[in-house]
Amino acid sequence: MRLIVSHTNLDFDGLASLVAAHKFDPKAVLALPPSLGERVKQFLHFYSDSFDWYTYKQIDWSNVSAITYVDCSTDERAGVASFLVNNEIERSYIDHHQSEATGANITLLLQPIIHQGIAVSPIEATLFGLGLYSDTNRLTNDTVTIADMKAAVFLHENGMDLTVIREFLQAHAGEHPLFKTLFNAVDIQTIAEKRIVFSTCIADQYIADIATVVEEIHSLYAPDATIVLCQLHHHTYMIARATSADIPIQILAQQLGGNGHDYAASAICRNEPLAKAYATVRHLLTACIQVKTPIRSIMHWPVQTFFASSTVAEVFHESNHLPYKGFPVVNDRKQVIGMLTAAKLKKAIGLNQGTELVASIMSKKVLTLKATDSIEQGKKVMMENEIGRIPICQSDGTLEGIITRSSIITSPFEHPPHYSDSELTRYFGEKRFTFLRKIGELADAQDVQVYIVGGIVRDFILNRLSKDIDLVVEGDAISFARTLANQFGGEVQQHDHFLTATWIIHSVPIDLVTARREHYRTPGALPDVQPASIKDDLARRDFAINAIAVSLNASCFGEILDPFQGRQQIQAKTVSVLHPLSFIEDPTRLFRALRFAKRLGFQLGDETKKQAKIMGHAIQTISKQRLYHELELSHREDQLPWLFKALNEYHVWKIFFGANMSENAYKHIQHLFREGVNESIFLAIAAIAYEQHSLESLHAFALTKLTKKLLTDIQLIEDYQDETSLDNLHGSLFSVKDAAIFFFITLPNKENAMLSQYRNAREMLTPLVTGRDLIALGFKPSPLFSTWLLDIEKRQLTGEIKTKADALAWVSKKNKHES
């Protein structure tokens, strides 16, 4: 196998050089180094379907016969030193650092490509352009040569997309030349009870990407609207961003001859200097923010409320006859501290949580409005957050009233949130995007609603690579899967009991799931399922970051359903459950929450942490098979033993073994996983139990023949570990697994010198005599054989027997003596 590699912390010049070098050796494998530059990660994520990459971990290094190094010239710089199996391999180098012929390494490779007339696709030309422009500072460095210039012309002629290049190479907002000026000029004003950020500047030349600065300022100050005015020569340019639909910046822009939508707009104040344009914009904005009909005019009062200190059973019986579906939870000062729904009460009663306090199941993240807010704002909050009621409170949180879905204007938004075609194309690639479009068109023709849901939407928002596509169908997923197969080919594997199907097309599996709701009969049990709406389907999911859907139907392609503010959770890098009973229903969600947090670099939300800590003995209701499954999934992501320690915070090990995992047990677990011993998950659990003198409790965790054997071995070694001679140890422990011995010799703060010596000696022990040898001596097979063979091994360990001849002589003597 031949490899093409580049340097660690890979940049665009190195990546482009990898692909270009591959054109001269198409049978070679492109290998990505362990660390990549952030913008390179983004590019690889968006264009993963355009190139064939392999990571170093995916390479079988024992088969590597040659390596071509591009944009670097050492094993250390390429990060391959620790992977190489054979150092005597063929090496070649294409590195501009060893030459002054070009400013960019990609130019060294483009020169023969141009000379030989090798074809370059538009996406390749764009990648090569990224390498060229990034490494030469857009062809402005002193090191730029005529060859670099000619390379740029060639790439332009072959379809290089400058828009993509500009997008990937643009500086961050904080690096923008106008950022400091506009940031220092911020002026926060209140107009018609709305918080508006104004900022102004005068520029003597055109500066691109000012919108990124506006968005950064808008994000930093989080006002209702941000308006930036920048004078360039005779005109003043306005860029506006809004958080609330109550501030019609689109109308403002239109009055100035520009345009936009509810949350982003721009215009040019032609032939107006900055001061005059500012006065014009402020006057028009004040006129645009009209006094709306306040929520006070439609809110309900009095409001049925409950206290957090009441029990679930008390509130259930008191509210069961009421027509309301939700209630504010207040403290003794009538301040709203939570929301409680009739559905949650019913579910808690069904899960035998009647004695729990209302505080344990109420939603503590409460969205409230003021009586002076507009009905339009109330509608926006209700629609975007998929809630049916909103408490109306004073500034100190005191309850004034409540509005419900039936009491508010319910007309749909003109601009529902959605992802654009360009955003989706960039992530999925042109081929997969077109395919998703066709699925949406077929869904419209079949009169069903189809969505991409869950992990792939989350990864899309995070710009993380995700190969799997999960589809949720409002209707019959199995029937729609068959329709897809009839239309596009492939085969369908259906799972009637789960209302799901797998459509396999071109060897790629696509899972289709019927939108459904779930009901848990008892804590920790698997749920009962039945068909439902997409909103119900999202509500059954584990975390807000996984409860986002994007429509594929042609009639509403790209529209976003995010009832649990998953996008906000992703932005805040937080993993949160959807409701307080989530961990009670399925305790394994704690393992998944921690797995996602570790994988994505997130944290568990504060409320989610509290709910996990009060989950209590519900964790014991899950089967040990499910527990192992969750641990194994984390093991595949190299998250163990980290997860074992993380579970300590939520008292999981205390519930199983009577006390939390000790620091010694954690060190022991680290050693076990570092060495990669067999059944390391079971032995890690055993390490916790052993520290707590609770080996008997391990029987519930020994599910296989091997783990049962290991447990028996551990108990046996426990009895004989203090033996002082190798032969006595072998006589007692000859049948135990090596992993069980390793378990003991890696115990922290405990000397096991003899046991360690025995393990090493046993590894070197080679049987000198077999049963056949004894038969050859004339002995008839009998139970004595195993006794003699073991005795021979014991004497080998002490040095009394060293050769086969010694062993056979000992047997003969032994038999003669016993006779």
pLDDT per residue as tens digits for the range 158-196: 999 988 888 777 655 566 778 889 988 999 998 877 889
55 and 140 in a single domain? The answer is yes
User: Is residue 415 domain-resident?
Assistant: no
pLDDT bin (cut points 50, 70, 90) of residue 414 is very low
Most confident of 202-216, 316-330, 688-702: 688-702
User: Is residue 589 domain-resident?
Assistant: no
Q: DSSP character for 780?
A: P
User: Is residue 598 domain-resident?
Assistant: no
pLDDT for the residue 291: 44
What's the chain's average pLDDT?
Answer: 87
Compute φ and ψ for 519, nearest 5 degrees.
Answer: -130, 125
117 and 94 in a single domain? The answer is yes
- Residue 793 sits in which domain range? 771-818
- Domain C-terminal end among 746, 764, 782: 764
Amino acid identity at 330:
V
222 and 337 in a single domain? The answer is no
pLDDT for the residue 29: 94
425 and 561 in a single domain? The answer is yes
Is the C-alpha dihedral spanning 275, 277, 280, 282 positive or negative? negative
> Which token pair is 514?
């019927």
81 and 101 in a single domain? The answer is yes
179 and 143 in a single domain? The answer is no
Amino acid identity at 611:
Q
120 and 200 in a single domain? The answer is no
653 and 568 in a single domain? The answer is no
Q: What is the domain count for the chain?
A: 6
Give the CA radius of gyration of the chain.
34
Amino acid identity at 426:
R
pLDDT for the residue 501: 94
**Overall average pLDDT of the 353-382 stretch:** 88
User: Is residue 416 domain-resident?
Assistant: no
Specify the CATH number for the domain of residue 517.
Answer: 3.30.460.10
Q: How far apart are CA 265 and CA 248, in angstroms?
A: 9
pLDDT for the residue 511: 94
User: Is residue 307 domain-resident?
Assistant: yes
Closest CA to 758 of 775, 779, 744, 774: 744
Higher pLDDT: 678 or 361? It is 361
258 and 324 in a single domain? The answer is no
**Percentage of residues of the chain with pLDDT beyond 90:** 51
Closest CA to 196 of 238, 230, 226: 226
457 and 571 in a single domain? The answer is yes
pLDDT for the residue 154: 95
User: Is residue 601 domain-resident?
Assistant: no
pLDDT for the residue 412: 36
Whether residue 389 has pLDDT greater than 70: yes
Is the C-alpha dihedral spanning 110, 112, 114, 117 positive or negative? negative
pLDDT for the residue 293: 63
Higher pLDDT: 97 or 744? It is 744
Q: Where are the alpha helices (DSSP H) in 308-420?
A: 312-319, 342-350, 375-385
User: Is residue 780 domain-resident?
Assistant: yes
Q: How far apart are CA 236 and CA 282, in angstroms?
A: 14
Whether residue 15 has pLDDT greater than 60: yes
143 and 181 in a single domain? The answer is no
Query: Tens digit of pLDDT for each residue in 625-639?
Result: 999 999 999 999 999
797 and 718 in a single domain? The answer is no
pLDDT bin (cut points 50, 70, 90) of residue 518 is low
- Domain C-terminal end among 223, 254, 288: 288
Specify the CATH number for the domain of residue 140.
Answer: 3.90.1640.10
Among 182-196, 634-648, 670-684, 694-708, the minimum mean pLDDT is found in: 182-196
Specify the CATH number for the domain of residue 272.
Answer: 3.10.310.30
Query: Tens digit of pLDDT for each residue in 450-508?
Result: 999 989 999 999 999 887 889 999 889 999 999 999 999 999 999 887 789 999 998 89
Q: DSSP character for 64?
A: -
Among 253-257, 406-410, 439-443, the minimum mean pLDDT is found in: 406-410
- Domain C-terminal end among 147, 169, 191: 169
> Which token pair is 410?
């319910």
**Overall average pLDDT of the 737-745 stretch:** 94
Q: How far apart are CA 481 and CA 512, in angstroms?
A: 7
State how far the alpha carbon of 243 is from the alpha carbons of 237, 254, 281, 390, in Å. Answer: 21, 18, 18, 19
pLDDT bin (cut points 50, 70, 90) of residue 254 is confident
Q: How far apart are CA 269 and CA 255, in angstroms?
A: 10
**Overall average pLDDT of the 733-745 stretch:** 94
User: Is residue 41 domain-resident?
Assistant: yes
**Overall average pLDDT of the 313-319 stretch:** 92
**Overall average pLDDT of the 319-346 stretch:** 89
